[in-house]
Amino acid sequence: GVPPASAAPTAVPAATSGYYFLDAPPAAAPSDAPLQALADQARRAAPDSHLDGIDLRGPRAADAPLPGQALQGPGAAPQYYFVHAVQLPNGFVTPAKPHPHAAPGAAAGHAAQQDRHPGFDIQAVRRDFPILSERINGKPLVWLDNAATTHKPRQVIERISHFYAHENSNIHRAAHTLAARATDAYEHAREVVRRFIHAPDAREVIFVRGTTEAINLVAKAWGGANVGEGDEIIISHLEHHANIVPWQQLAAAKGARLRVIPVDDQGQIRLDEYQKLINDRTKIVAIGHVSNVLGTVVPVKQVVEIAKRRGITTLIDGAQSIAHTPVDVQDLGADFFVFSGHKIFAPTGIGVLWGRREVLEAMPPWQGGGNMIADVTFEQTVYQPLPNTFEAGTGNIADAVGLGAALEYVERIGIAQISRYEHALVDYGMAQLASIAGLRLIGTVPGKASVLAFTLDGYSTDEVGQALNAEGIAVRTGHHCAQPILRRFGVETAVRPSLAFYNTFDEVDQLVREVRKLAARRR
């Protein structure tokens, strides 16, 4: 059902043809003027202002051959995805600057043709993801639930399958060949993670189950040793429950206090209020990089800098940033950066805790058992050095290998390219949704990443989700594991389409078309 890339430029008619707007003219209804103004403001915003703290250099040597590449399956040749390797139709140009929609005078609701070009071969990318060819209720699947989880390219699926067919063994033990293969594959994945987040040392990369486990590990191990009665822990109003509850539990156990950075009405954290909260009792600042409800890109580098000046430990929850923005942990400067594999095209059940070496080395282990020990007697145990100190027991070996393959896949496309394309897609989606009468956008900070949350007058969020599902469009509805921030905006639930780099402008158009139909039928 998806037209080939080469057909797109000729099939995209002039803005007035109605091709993208089958139901209604794109002009905002008078009652939507404030929302439209917000969307316009978002599009006009300085292109790079939201990229504060984000490394735009992109992955180093993204198109260089990668270790383990031979295992990636057919079609993985690095050049395959790059613009220079594909035949571009006449007049189809790569965007010259990060935010084409920021160009003054760009017709609201109509991406200029070149804005629709992601800078990589999107149809080739889509063919890599088998599930994107599924039909749901007789319609082609439109997957707009990427903030919940992302799909897996066949390079990842095949890599895991290869592991079980040819390499499966427990790791770091035994003298046999398969143990060596499995250990090599696992440690290679660790090195890929290091490179992807620009960590200085692969020993600082700890494999865990996901973001939730990583934050719990830090709260229990680091927090257990460093937080005491009367101490304070700072988080923000934007946080996912995974970055609230472990700190709440720590605070309750230790007699410490949780302090919360408020957000403004667009959904950005208040740096001025943060500066007032921070004090001599503050022990740790744990902050989300990108909100999973509002899509706000938080100026985490500034947040970390302010804490660091006072010697306060910092953690960044990168669950929603890792797939959408380049991450350089050295540039960000935090002590911990955590993310989940499944949010970045890797399997569930695998994720990463990165920590600065001195901080990790000063931390007691969390779980005890095999793999993390050097020597055990009944009197005492000597622990393994990093990273094994924090990897007790048999880990999720195959999925760690799958995570490595997923990151190599993203590296070949280029996270900076992905980020640019997605920001154009998000800005476009925001402007389109803002033009629908009765639709309220939740979270309107310029330069949002991935997420377009809204409510629709006259409908419960579940009704909207079900109506979209009938058309093959998958969006999340509900509280999104972040109740405090939704309540801050006066709602209990929201509809949350969320985008990834395999989504297209046509898919955003389909979403908007269906929501517009619902709005027109409003009770």
- Enumerate the β-bridge partners of residue 269: 263
Please tell me the distance from the alpha carbon of residue 71 to that of residue 249, in angstroms, as a whole number: 43
Nearer to ligand PLP, 267 or 288 (CB): 288
- Residue 317 lies near ligand PLP (rule: CB under 6 A): yes
What kind and span of H or E run contains 338? Answer: strand 336-340
What's the min distance (Å) between Cβ of 288 and ligand PLP? 5
Of positions 73, 288, 387, 402, contacts ligand PLP by CB under 6 A = 288
Near ligand PLP by CB under 6 A, which window of 11-19, 208-216, 219-227, 370-378? 208-216
Active site residue 481: yes
Residue type, 292: N
Q: How far apart are CA 142 and CA 4, in angstroms?
A: 16
Q: Residue 36 or residue 493: which is nearer to ligand PLP going by CB?
A: 493
In this complex, which beta carbon is closest to ligand PLP, that of residue 146 or of residue 455? 146
| Calpha distance 251→249 (Å, rounded) | 5
Our CB check for ligand PLP shows the closer of 101 and 479 to be 479
CA separation (Å) from 235 to 240, 335, 489? 10, 15, 18
Q: Binding of ligand PLP at residue 340 (CB under 6 A)?
A: yes
Asked if 498 is part of the footprint of ligand PLP (rule: CB under 6 A), the reply reads: no
- Select from 320, 389, 493, 498 the one that contacts ligand PLP (CB under 6 A): 320
69 backbone dihedrals φ, ψ, rounded to 5°: -65, -35
Region near ligand PLP per CB under 6 A, out of 23-31, 113-121, 210-218, 256-264? 210-218
Minimal distance, residue 175 CB to ligand PLP, in Å: 36
If one asks whether residue 319 binds ligand PLP (CB under 6 A), the answer comes out as yes
Binding mask 464-483 toward ligand PLP (x if CB under 6 A, else -) reads: -----------------x--
> How many Å separate Cα 433 from the centre of its chain?
22
Residue 329 engages ligand PLP in binding (rule: CB under 6 A): no
CB 102 within 8 A of CB 47: yes
Give, as one character, the DSSP assignment of residue 480. T
Binding segment toward ligand PLP, per CB under 6 A, in 257-265, 315-323, 356-364, 368-376? 315-323
- The arrangement of strands across the sheet holding 257-261 comes to 205-208, 351-355, 336-340, 313-317, 282-288, 232-236, 257-261
Q: Which of residues 36 and 419 has its CB atom nearest to ligand PLP in the complex? A: 419
- Catalytic member of 83, 481, 483, 513: 481
Give the position of tokens 């003219």. Answer: 25
Binding mask 118-157 for ligand PLP (x = CB under 6 A): ----------------------------------------
- Cα–Cα distance, 455 to 442 (Å, whole number): 8
Stretch of 195-203, 236-244, 386-394, 466-474 contacting ligand PLP, by CB under 6 A: 236-244
Q: Which is nearer to ligand PLP, 243 or 325 (CB)?
A: 243
Residue of 122, 189, 242, 449 that binds ligand PLP (CB under 6 A): 242
Residues 6+ apart with CB under 8 A from 166: 181
Only one of the segments 80-88, 91-99, 240-248, 390-398 lies at the binding site for ligand PLP (rule: CB under 6 A); that segment is: 240-248
Among 72, 150, 183, 211, binds ligand PLP (CB under 6 A): 211
Using CB under 6 A as the binding rule, whether residue 216 contacts ligand PLP is answered as no
Please report, in angstroms and rounded to a whole number, the separation of the first and last CA atoms in the chain.
Answer: 32
Tally: H helices and E strands in the chain: 17, 17
> Rule CB under 6 A: is residue 267 a binding residue for ligand PLP?
no
The answer to whether residues 330 and 302 touch, using CB atoms and an 8 Å cutoff, is: no
Question: How many residues are there in the chain?
Answer: 523
Q: Give the Cα separation of 424 and 410 in Å (integer).
A: 18
**Spatial CB neighbours of 193, under 8 Å, sequence gap ≥ 6:** 199, 202, 205, 352, 354, 403, 404, 407
Residues 434-463 close enough to bind ligand PLP by CB under 6 A: none
Between 72 and 340, name the residue whose CB sits nearer to ligand PLP.
Answer: 340
Q: Could you give phi then psi for residue 128, rounded to 5 degrees? A: -70, -20
For the annotated catalytic residues, the residue numbers are 481
Q: Which residues bind ligand PLP (CB under 6 A)?
A: 210-212, 240, 242-243, 288, 292, 317, 319-320, 340, 481
